[in-house]
Structure 1
């Protein structure tokens, strides 16, 4: 998947007015995910993503331990949206990532996160919401 396609998918699925908003949402979600994952897993997830997108995972201070509520709070702050909207942003961006990476890669990510993160992956494979 190329950068323009990735950002366009995020913009379309989140119904955002601009590509800039889509990039901000993507950065918020992936930087925060990169903080929660171990560095090697963040790098593995970043590998198949477009270069302009993978940097958000590489730039994160990986290996931090925080729950899903804190994840959403960080995304909310970075994306400058309310927490409920940030949770939806996170689900949609992860769903777009799923379209761009091998299935085994997201299996590795989910294996590294506690059960409280299940909500993050609930849109995977569900095309009915957009």
Structure 2
């Protein structure tokens, strides 16, 4: 899956424009990068197209711990979307990520993010 296909899948799942889908994708990946260890973010990035890898490389300092609500808040701040749109966006990016990378890599990332994040991807149409 290339970056355009990824953005289109997110747009289809959220009913956002392609530009909004691209923005929410980057914001979600940047937010997830803060929750993942540097090694896991790097491994996940290795299975994504170059333009999406960049988002997982930004802001890599220490691994932070925060919940789904905080993730949505951070995505909302980065994109200017409403809370509902940002929540749909995070769910759509997680679901699309599940399709775009290997099952093994997705499961590794979810093991660090936690079951709350994995459930979000499962509840996406």
TM-score, length-normalised on structure 1?
Answer: 0.85
Structure 1 residues 77-96: aligned runs within 5 Å: 77-96=77-96
The match for 2:102 is 102
Equivalent pair of 2:14/2:85 in contact (CA under 8 Å): no
The match for 1:20 is 19
Equivalent pair of 2:33/2:57 in contact (CA under 8 Å): yes
| Secondary structure, aligned partner of 2:81 | coil
Higher relative contact order (CA 8 A, sep 6+): 2
Number of equivalent positions: 124
Equivalent pair of 1:32/1:60 in contact (CA under 8 Å): no
Equivalent pair of 1:16/1:22 in contact (CA under 8 Å): yes
> Once structures 1 and 2 are overlaid, which stretch shifts more, 104-113 or 79-88?
79-88
Gaps of 5+ in 1: none
RMSD: 1.7
Kindly state the Cα deviation for residue 118 of structure 1 after the two structures are TM-superposed.
Answer: 4.1
TM-score, length-normalised on structure 2?
Answer: 0.88
